[in-house]
Chains A and B, each alone.
Chain A
Amino acid sequence: MIEVGRLCVKIAGRDAGGKCVIVDVLDDKFVMIDGNVRRRKCNVVHLEPLSEVIKISKGASHDSVKAEFEKLKIPVWGTKPKKAAERPKKVRGKKKKAEEAATEAKGKKKVTKKAAPKKAKEKKEEKPAKKPEETESVEELLGGEGEVKAEKKE
């Protein structure tokens, strides 16, 4: 009964109930199995042989077993490749931090339009008090920005 190509059902362990095929006979107790189970060494006692026999070579690869099983329309065990999750990157150095801050600020402006004009108003109030001489130029600049933002808001 125990021979290369014999279809079996595994009756013990986590793969119990799965159909498999004997790929290699290791000794009088153990065989190598593959199919709808993990490819592994298995005790003969843990297998229930079926009447069918597949034509496969001794020590056939998982792919060839898979091809044979697909002909018989038996599902085959396999792993799905995992995608590596994105990790937050640590940024070192002042320049890079400044760049990040700039990019974040841009994002915020786009997302929260209400918050941006308020900040501009605050700047207006603060800066003239500190430097009364440059009020005109600063106000012009800030005013210009504010207008642009107001337009955006509208």
Chain B
Amino acid sequence: MVAGRHKSRSMRRVFRKTPGGKVVVHYRKKKPKLARCGSCGAVLKGVVRERPYKLRNMPKTKKRPTRPYGGVLCTKCLRKLMIEKART
């Protein structure tokens, strides 16, 4: 029987096989939403989707692309911005 606190879907369910052959359910915390571009809303590539406690032990270069506005703007929007800046 599912424990009362696990009846809601606020936790992620992970099915694990035990050494005895049983399938048991583990409850994990859900991952945060995908990172999105600040101007157009496109899904950002190269940005890790993890909880802060895992991000803390991760090197900076693994968390976002190494470029100006990396992890904030998508490449298309960055190009537009840079062209705008150059022309003004």
Contact = CB atoms under 8 A, between A and B. Distances in A.
Contacts of B67: 12-14, 16
Tell me if B's interface is mostly helix, strand, loop or mixed.
helix
Interface residues of B, number: 11
A42 interface: no
A39 B24 CA distance: 57
B79 A17 contact: no
Interface stretch (B15-23, B25-33, B49-57, B80-88): B80-88
Contacts of B78: 11-12, 16
Q: Please classify how large the interface on chain A is, using the bins under 10, 10 to 19, 20 to 34, 35 or more.
A: 10 to 19
B10 interface: no
Nearest to B70: A14
B61 to A, nearest CB: 11
Contacts, number: 30
A9 B85 contact: yes
B75 A17 contact: no
A48 interface: yes
B67 to A, nearest CB: 5
Interface in B33-88: 66-68, 75, 78-79, 82-83, 85-87
Interface of B: 66-68, 75, 78-79, 82-83, 85-87
14 contacts: A9-B82, A9-B86, A11-B78, A11-B79, A11-B82, A12-B67, A12-B75, A12-B79, A13-B67, A14-B66, A14-B67, A16-B78, A17-B85, A50-B86
Closest 10 CB pairs of A and B: A11-B82, A9-B86, A48-B86, A14-B67, A11-B79, A14-B66, A16-B68, A48-B83, A17-B68, A16-B67
